[in-house]
Amino acid sequence: MFIIFGFHLLIHVTNPSCMRISFQVFKSSFYTLFLMLCMGGRSQSQSYFYNEKYYEKDVLFEFGGGVGAMNSLTDLGGKKGIGRRFLKDINWKNTELCRTIYIGANFGDVFGIRLEGTFGKVKGYDSVLARYKTDGQTKGRYYRNLNFRSNISEFALIGEFHPLMLRDFSTSTVPLLSPYIMAGIGTFKFNPQTYFQGAWVDLEPLRLEGQGFKEYKDREIYSTRAVSFPMGIGLKYELGSLFVARFEMLHRFTNTDYLDDVGSGVYVNPALFASYLSPPKATLAAQLYDRHKELNPDYIPDSDEKRGKANKDAYFTFCLKVGIVIGRPNR
């Protein structure tokens, strides 16, 4: 039942024609899976003793939530140098609070599948590199002078595998602590904004890199809904027959380079904004597409200079979760 349900969700998420509705599909799926779990909890499966009060079942259900930290890897901010990949370029000052809620099923303590919603915020600032502005490799990133923030609302289908639970525990005690690995697929909504003249400004409508302009045919207008590919590790601890605690680190690869509204194109000709945007938006876009001169009034743009790199953006979370176990009947 869960495999069929998950396959149905994957079709919605990975089919480009369904990207616009995938976010609503995942939200409605939470309610659907909740009803499935409630009905599934009444089904019969092999039983054995969990402790002196409860039977164990082959299939257990779990509902829970938690809080944690969220950060991102984009073109903005980072650390000293030319910018590196993965954890080596994370600036921990940009960490924000996040929260999560999930519902799922565990099969024989070895495999699990769950639907999970994660909600938080990511941000990045080139100004964080101010102390390194004399470094030859960092100087250009600092004087680029861009910044962003974005709320993240993600719904994901995640599978987990507990390798230690493959052992035969018929003659020994099942461990309370179980490490596991995770992987899945999800969809998330974002909305990059920048701070300008005392207010936060939505960036996607301004098309700062000429997205959709005929002069830049390789730059398509991007969607603020994208696909994520969560992968990570976790540690599960049995607090008792009814509760479990989890600590998880999930890294999300994504299919977008515009989480921070900075792609890999060269700076556009600002005169083109008036041809594609309304006068107020065109005026604002001309001020925001290149912000070097706010720090360096003598800056002369290079026609081949790029705003960012071609790498896809990513974000990740560290979360502490508590879940309620459903399905262990009284002895």
Contact (CB, 8 A) for 234 and 179 = yes
**What does the pLDDT look like over 242-270, one tens digit per residue?**
899 999 999 999 999 999 999 988 899 99
Per-residue pLDDT tens for 2-19? 444 444 444 454 454 444
Distance between CA atoms of 98 and 95, rounded to whole angstroms?
Answer: 9
Question: What pLDDT is attached to residue 138?
Answer: 79
CA–CA dist 120, 259 (Å, integer): 13
**Stretch 69-98: mean pLDDT:** 79
Q: What is the pLDDT of residue 305?
A: 84
Q: Give the mean pLDDT of 133-155.
A: 88
What is the model's pLDDT at position 45? 42
Q: What is the pLDDT of residue 228?
A: 97
317: β partners: 70, 250
Kindly state the tokens that stand for 92. Answer: 């921990």
DSSP alpha helix (H) spans, the chain: 2-14, 19-40, 139-144, 273-276, 279-288
Q: pLDDT by residue (tens digit) across 148-184? A: 999 999 999 999 999 988 876 555 566 789 999 999 9
What are the tens digits of pLDDT across the range 176-227?
899 999 999 999 999 999 999 999 999 999 999 999 999 999 899 999 999 9
CB 234 within 8 A of CB 178: no
Closest residue by Cα to residue 268 from 290, 283, 287:
290
Q: Tokens standing for 8?
A: 């149905």
Q: What pLDDT does residue 157 have?
A: 97
Residue-range domains of the chain with CATH = 2-326 (2.40.160.20)
- How many percent of the chain have pLDDT more than 90? 54
Note whether 233 and 197 are within 8 A (CB).
Answer: no
What backbone phi and psi angles, to 5 degrees, belong to 310? -85, 0
The sign of the CA dihedral 222, 252, 16, 310 is positive
Using CA atoms, how far apart are residues 83 and 77, in angstroms rounded to an integer?
9
Per-residue model confidence (pLDDT) at position 63 = 96
Question: Which of the pair, 97 or 266, is modelled with greater confidence?
Answer: 97
| Mean pLDDT score, 125-134 | 84
Task: Tell me how far apart the alpha carbons of residues 155 and 192 are, in angstroms, rounded to a whole number.
Answer: 19
Least confident of 31-45, 146-160, 189-203, 277-291: 31-45
> Per-residue pLDDT for 112 more than 90?
yes
- For residue 32, what pLDDT band results from cuts at 50, 70 and 90? low
